Amino acid sequence: MYVRCHGCPLRTKPAFHDKTQDEIAVIDQMKSDHLRVSAGTEFIHPEQTDAELYTLFSGWAFRYKELADGRRQILNFSLPGDLIGMQAALLDKSLYGAVALTDAELCVVPRRRLFKLFEHAPGAAYELTWLGAREEALVDENLLTAGRRNAMERVAAMVAALYKRAEQLDLVQDGVMDFPLTQQHIADALGLSLVHTNKTLARLRAQGMFRIADGKLALLNPRAVARLAQYFEKEPARRPII
């Protein structure tokens, strides 16, 4: 059940850099646990002071913040290979929550070992920082979306971005990928109301650019979606994985 980094099936995906056996050994040593959580589990809590650092091994997750009156903003979605919890692990306490969207597996790097990692494995530390910077880039893009795109564009931007990320992980087949978000998740990620999200999806559906149904997303016209969203960013060809 416990997955050692040496045989990790994730790191051989085309999305990720190759690593030497030594590098992998370092990371394997840092890893303290391999966690299985079921859909809906909140594995980092807002205000939590002892959150660990995680790499999502399988499944989907998201980070969120909320206001005192319950309004919730999803900050970003995590796919396999993504780091979750840099802020939570480094800062005094977590300023957000993190929840598994599907059943998921998490590789755990204890926050206590983080500084050691910087001392003894500068390469891994650099990659950690790199991944942190990438996560910020995702949030930046989401902020652009929430701040400056209208409802139709927001949905299109989200579809385009998630599709591109899934593609890199070999999660797309014949233009179709798993898509475990409810409309409430979409609304919370895009800064829209649930009802308006539903109506926006209906309008987009009528235009036939993509289809979301039964937990699947089929991207029918990537060009049109990218154009509508004015979303043209490329993911780096290969990235680290810790």
Question: 210 forms bridges with which residues in the sheet?
Answer: 219
How far apart, in Å, do the first and last CA atoms of the chain sit? 19
Instruction: Determine if 218 is a binding residue for DNA (CB under 7 A).
Output: no
Phi, psi of 224 (to 5 degrees): -65, -40
Return the residue of 25, 39, 125, 194 that touches a second copy, per CB under 8 A: 125
Return the residue of 25, 194, 218, 224 that touches DNA, per CB under 7 A: 194
Q: In the stretch 150-169, what mask flags binding to DNA with x, by CB under 7 A?
A: xxx-----------------
Instruction: Determine if 111 is a binding residue for a second copy (CB under 8 A).
Output: no
What is the C-alpha separation between 229 and 100, in angstroms, rounded?
27
Q: What is the DSSP letter of 13?
A: S
Neighbours of 218 (CB within 10 A): 15
Instruction: Determine if 192 is a binding residue for DNA (CB under 7 A).
Output: yes
Instruction: Determine if 195 is a binding residue for a second copy (CB under 8 A).
Output: no
Q: Which does 6 bind (CB under 5 to 8 A by kind): a second copy, DNA, none?
A: none
CB of 225 to DNA, least distance (A): 17
191-195 long-range contacts (CB < 8 A, ≥24 apart) are 191/73, 191/146, 191/154, 192/151, 192/154
Instruction: Determine if 230 is a binding residue for DNA (CB under 7 A).
Output: no
* Range 3-62, binding a second copy (CB under 8 A): none
Residue 217 and residue 159 in contact, taking contact as beta carbons nearer than 8 Å:
yes
Return the residue of 19, 113, 149, 185 that touches a second copy, per CB under 8 A: 149
Phi, psi of 123 (to 5 degrees): -65, -45
Contact residues: a second copy, CB under 8 A: 63, 65-69, 71-73, 75, 86-87, 90-92, 95-96, 114-115, 118-119, 122-123, 125-126, 128-130, 132-137, 139-144, 146-149, 188, 190-191, 230, 232-233, 236
